[in-house]
């Protein structure tokens, strides 16, 4: 049977674009449907604009620290509109780059929503197209909890387009998105209260890492209300009143600006896809796929956040390229979801790869692992006299074969450092391999090869 396209991609985020371009390089005829800006969450409402705001939030601390190095004190003011305008201009520039890449790859772009009529047929606006294979790469969307008055709260998607900086902000949630924005806004001068249900932030990460970041955030001025639930949001003339109740039963009303950030998670963006017209299965609200990213409908694939495996941009890209290599490049490729490194761009920053201590204990038992840990003040903070700024590094080692199962860090440039450590962990390096590696002195990173 003849089709309009060899591959049609629903969603032009990082995973969808990477798959489309790779498949087109192999000679496939490829189409992409996207109703929003090119680049998906990462470019438009996530990684890129967020990281630029992280950089901006660090300058007040750097101005202060410079005095310890002989620079005169700096009196500076911050302009929210200048930052957000610059950030959004950069996002626009990247949209243009993605457009150019797709054009050069001869990928046809449909600027509308796509939905399945059947396995091989898609409705895109007023058009109908057919495809031999279809990739679903629609990403995720933020979800708001069912709380009275939640309509007055924004999500992380809207933070980049606020017309003015909130003077006070209540952030609901303890995941990495909530924590990152708590640190960003705090660094930019906003008074931040973060409300979390559990005793510590960043559930699912290594406990040492979680506690270290939480304590540092509190030292830097973020007020964290642990084991606390938001009861309601109420808009008043004075601002937004957020009513909270702690596990002990204590109640409090917090006055914040007319915005409050709900960052309680994201869900796959599956609405209006017409999946009921296919054999694609849904499990726990996400598209169910096998290790090859193939759905129950054998010619339909899915990658990225809509599958809710590991919701990271580089993972979606790798999943998509593996499909293109396998199906169109005659290069059978399987994307491994083990030992995927990630960073948390809080202040201080964190980087992690492999098993947490808790995961390692669950797999090998407490007697089956060894923990190597160090905590110190990095050289950078000596002259500014910042005794509370600490770096934490930790290795989780399998006692039987001495393989490094996990590496975790909290401190400056943790993401940059863990990227290199991740190569060693992925290759199965042992503690002896780390010990045999000569450290770069003086650096924080050398501590990973000197821990005893």
- Active-site residue, 387 included: no
Higher-scoring residue by pLDDT: 248, 263: 248
Does the pLDDT of residue 258 top 90, yes or no?
no
Say yes or no: 296 and 390 in one domain: no
Mean pLDDT of the chain: 97
Cα dihedral 413, 419, 425, 430 sign: negative
Distance between CA atoms of residues 71 and 340, nearest Å = 41
Average pLDDT (343-349) is 98
pLDDT score at 264 = 86
- CATH number of the domain within which 70 lies: 3.50.50.60
* Tens of pLDDT, residues 372-398: 999 999 999 999 999 999 999 999 999
Distance between CA atoms of residues 289 and 270, nearest Å = 14
Distance between CA atoms of residues 327 and 135, nearest Å = 12
Distances (CA, A) of 339 to 352, 405, 423, 425, 445: 9, 9, 9, 7, 19
pLDDT score at 242 = 97
pTM over 0.85: yes
Say yes or no: 353 and 427 in one domain: yes
- CATH number of the domain within which 353 lies: 3.30.390.30
Instruction: Give residue 66's pLDDT band: very low, low, confident or very high (50, 70, 90).
Output: very high
Kindly name the residue from 58, 220, 292, 441 that is annotated as catalytic. Answer: 441
| Strand boundaries in 181-278, DSSP class E | 191-195, 223-225, 228-236, 239-246, 251-256, 261-262, 266-268
Does the pLDDT of residue 1 top 90, yes or no?
no
Say yes or no: 292 and 405 in one domain: no
pLDDT score at 308 = 97
pLDDT score at 190 = 98
Say yes or no: 360 and 418 in one domain: yes
* Tens of pLDDT, residues 183-216: 999 999 999 999 999 999 999 999 999 999 999 9
pLDDT score at 357 = 98
Instruction: Give residue 82's pLDDT band: very low, low, confident or very high (50, 70, 90).
Output: very high
Number of domains in the chain: 3
Report the share of the chain in percent with pLDDT over 90.
Answer: 98
Task: Please check whether residue 127 lies inside any domain of the structure.
Answer: yes
pLDDT score at 299 = 98
Range of the domain at 399: 342-449
Say yes or no: 15 and 137 in one domain: yes
Say yes or no: 230 and 258 in one domain: yes
């Amino acid at each position: 049977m003849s089709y309009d396209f060899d591959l049609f991609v629903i969603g032009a985020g990082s995973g969808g674009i990477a798959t489309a371009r790779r498949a087109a390089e192999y000679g496939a005829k490829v189409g992409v449907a996207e109703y929003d800006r090119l680049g998906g969450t990462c470019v438009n409402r996530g990684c890129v604009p967020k990281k630029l705001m992280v950089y901006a939030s660090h300058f007040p601390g750097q101005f202060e620290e410079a005095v310890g190095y002989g620079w005169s004190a700096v009196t500076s003011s911050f302009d929210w509109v200048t930052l957000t305008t610059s950030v959004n201009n950069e996002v626009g520039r990247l949209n243009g780059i993605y457009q150019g890449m797709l054009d050069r790859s001869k990928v046809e772009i449909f600027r509308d929503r796509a939905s399945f009529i059947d396995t091989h047929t898609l409705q895109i606006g007023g058009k109908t197209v057919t495809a031999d294979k279809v990739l679903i790469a629609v990403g995720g969307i933020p979800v708001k909890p069912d709380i009275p008055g939640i309509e007055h709260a924004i999500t992380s998607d809207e933070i980049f387009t606020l017309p003015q900086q909130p003077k006070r902000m209540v952030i609901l949630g303890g995941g990495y998105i909530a924590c990152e924005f708590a640190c960003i806004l705090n660094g930019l001068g906003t008074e931040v209260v973060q409300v979390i249900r559990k005793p510590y932030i960043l559930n699912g990460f290594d406990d040492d890492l979680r506690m270290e970041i939480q304590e540092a955030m509190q030292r830097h001025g973020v007020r964290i209300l642990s084991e606390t639930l938001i009861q309601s949001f109420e808009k008043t003339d004075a601002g937004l009143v957020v009513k909270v109740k702690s596990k002990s039963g204590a109640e409090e009303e917090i006055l914040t600006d007319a915005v409050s950030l709900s960052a309680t998670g994201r869900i796959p963006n599956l609405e209006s896809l017409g999946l009921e017209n296919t054999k694609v299965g849904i499990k726990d609200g996400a598209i169910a796929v096998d290790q090859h990213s193939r759905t129950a409908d054998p010619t339909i694939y899915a990658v990225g956040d809509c599958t809710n495996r590991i919701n990271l941009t580089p993972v979606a890209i790798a999943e998509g390229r593996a499909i293109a290599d396998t199906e169109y490049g005659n290069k059978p490729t399987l994307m491994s979801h083990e030992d995927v490194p990630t960073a948390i761009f809080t202040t201080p920053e964190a980087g992690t790869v492999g098993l947490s201590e808790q995961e390692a204990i669950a797999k090998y038992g407490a007697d089956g692992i060894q923990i190597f840990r160090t905590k110190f003040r990095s050289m950078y903070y000596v002259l500014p006299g910042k005794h509370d700024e600490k770096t934490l590094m930790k290795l989780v080692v399998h006692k039987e074969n001495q393989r490094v199962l996990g590496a975790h860090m909290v401190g400056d440039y943790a993401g940059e450092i863990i990227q290199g450590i991740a190569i060693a962990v992925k290759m199965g390096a042992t503690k002896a391999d780390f010990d045999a590696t000569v450290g770069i002195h003086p650096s924080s990173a050398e501590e990973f090869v000197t821990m005893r």
